[in-house]
Structure 1
Amino acid sequence: MKLQIASDLHHEIASDAPLCGNPLPLARGAEALVLAGDIHAGMGAVGLYRDYAAPVIYVHGDNEQTLATCAQLVAQLRKEAKGTSVHFLENGERIIDRVRFLGAYLRTARPFSLEKHDRSQIPQSRETRRFAIPRSWPRHS
């Protein structure tokens, strides 16, 4: 299966710009689109990709969280995605044409201060390329 993979599109920032207010065009030959976090605030990604030309595998990121809790966001995204092209995954799986997709929102529970620590001290791997410092956590000087 040929996949098109995108993350950090932030459609909400410039929703009137040509590529920001519209779904990402499907790449030639792609059989599915994987959206890996920070696509659009709240329910925006599901609304934008609901009638997409290919199946959309969607895992939310930290920027989608406009609701009070992550649990509320997950419940609402699951509800909104039903019956659309979007397959929302949170601790779940979806099988499309014998290909198994696993999806989960992962986030560090440890606050980092990039001003106080060298970036090399932040654990990273191929699967987790960045960590966000939530606005609710205090910054250390």
Structure 2
Amino acid sequence: MRLQILSDLHLETETFDPEPAEGAELLVLGGDIDSTWDGLERFRDWPQPVLFVAGNHEFDGRELTLAWPALRERCEQLGFTMLERQSIVRTGADGRRIRFVGTVRWCDFNLFGDAQRERVLRAAAYFMRVMRSTHHGVPFDAAAVLTEALACRDWLAEELARPAGDWDATVAITHFGPSFLSADPRYGSQPGTASFCNADDDLLPFADLWIHGHLHCRHDYRVRFDGHETRVVSNARGHSPRGEPQGYDGRFTVEV
């Protein structure tokens, strides 16, 4: 199955006209499409089925307990599928059945372990203030994000480890990066990187392809474990004032 991948379009401020990729059978939206949600309208009546995993900025200035059901309803109205701690199986033109396992997978700030915990949490506080979100009426701060992140992690680990079923390959979709290998090379091992990547390397072998966004740079690398190979891909666009979309290919596709 050939997948077109888009994420981090930030259509609330960016000018970008997404176009279907030739030969694609399904479009994956990996989050941070538009913090106002208005830009999701551009994917109504898309010629291929659309799978959407939310990013952190889909919740900017919102109460999460209300935003989740409202966002799901918006996606249903637009005719595409949102995955949050859910999996779905789709059949490609070649007859192969692909399992898609999706969750935002909030960051748990454990990328560098205990050694940098204090510095990581100080950096995380800044990103949470930018979001200005609440959860059950209180600020969605680093502690609240951690709680959600661990719930995502538990679900993801359990779902990926399910015994082989009626699918031929597994694609994991998370907004946050699954490994330090996905760190933005501009920032590397700075404490703030732990707000963008998780240490989910142990889960990578359970997927054939892992799609993520969040970091405003592109990635396409492979990780091998005992003869199994997992391809990790991000096709994030980013912000024009920072030059991040330079060379961006909105028709980028991968085969799974």
Please say whether Structure 1 and Structure 2 have the same fold, judged by a TM-score greater than 0.5. yes
Counterpart residue number, 1:47: 41
The equivalences for 1:1-141 within 5 A come to 1-14=1-14, 17=15, 20=16, 22=17, 24-97=18-91, 98-110=97-109, 111-113=121-123, 119-120=188-189, 122-123=193-194, 124=197
Determine the C-alpha separation between the residues in 1 that align with 2:38 and 2:82.
Answer: 13
Determine the C-alpha separation between the residues in 1 that align with 2:84 and 2:30.
Answer: 11
TM-score where L is the length of structure 2: 0.42
Amino acid at match of 1:88: M
Cα root mean square deviation, aligned: 2.7
TM-score where L is the length of structure 1: 0.71
8 Å contact 2:59–2:67 — kept in the other structure? Answer: yes
Q: Which moved more, 1:121-130 or 1:69-78?
A: 121-130
Q: Which moved more, 1:74-83 or 1:33-42?
A: 74-83
8 Å contact 2:8–2:213 — kept in the other structure? Answer: no
Go from structure 1 to structure 2 and tell me whether the alpha carbon gap of 1:101 and 1:113 turns closer, same or farther (over 3 Å shift): same
8 Å contact 1:87–1:94 — kept in the other structure? Answer: no
- Could you say which structure has the larger radius of gyration? 2
Amino acid at match of 1:54: Q
Shift of 1:28: 1.1
Go from structure 1 to structure 2 and tell me whether the alpha carbon gap of 1:70 and 1:25 turns closer, same or farther (over 3 Å shift): same
Q: Which has the higher contact order (CA 8 A, sep 6+)?
A: 2
Give unpaired runs (5+ residues) of structure 1.
Answer: 132-141
- Which consecutive aligned stretches of 4+ in structure 1 deviate over 4 angstroms post-superposition? 125-131
Give unpaired runs (5+ residues) of structure 2.
Answer: 92-96, 110-120, 125-186, 202-209, 216-256
Determine the C-alpha separation between the residues in 2 that align with 1:12 and 1:129.
Answer: 17
Q: Secondary structure at the match of 1:74?
A: helix
Go from structure 1 to structure 2 and tell me whether the alpha carbon gap of 1:93 and 1:44 turns closer, same or farther (over 3 Å shift): farther
Go from structure 1 to structure 2 and tell me whether the alpha carbon gap of 1:40 and 1:29 turns closer, same or farther (over 3 Å shift): same
Determine the C-alpha separation between the residues in 2 that align with 1:100 and 1:72.
Answer: 28
Determine the C-alpha separation between the residues in 2 that align with 1:57 and 1:129.
Answer: 14
Amino acid at match of 2:32: D
Determine the C-alpha separation between the residues in 2 that align with 1:58 and 1:45.
Answer: 13
Shift of 1:95: 2.1
Counterpart residue number, 2:183: none
Shift of 1:82: 1.7
Shift of 1:130: 5.5
Structure with bigger helix share is 2
Determine the C-alpha separation between the residues in 2 that align with 1:95 and 1:33.
Answer: 14
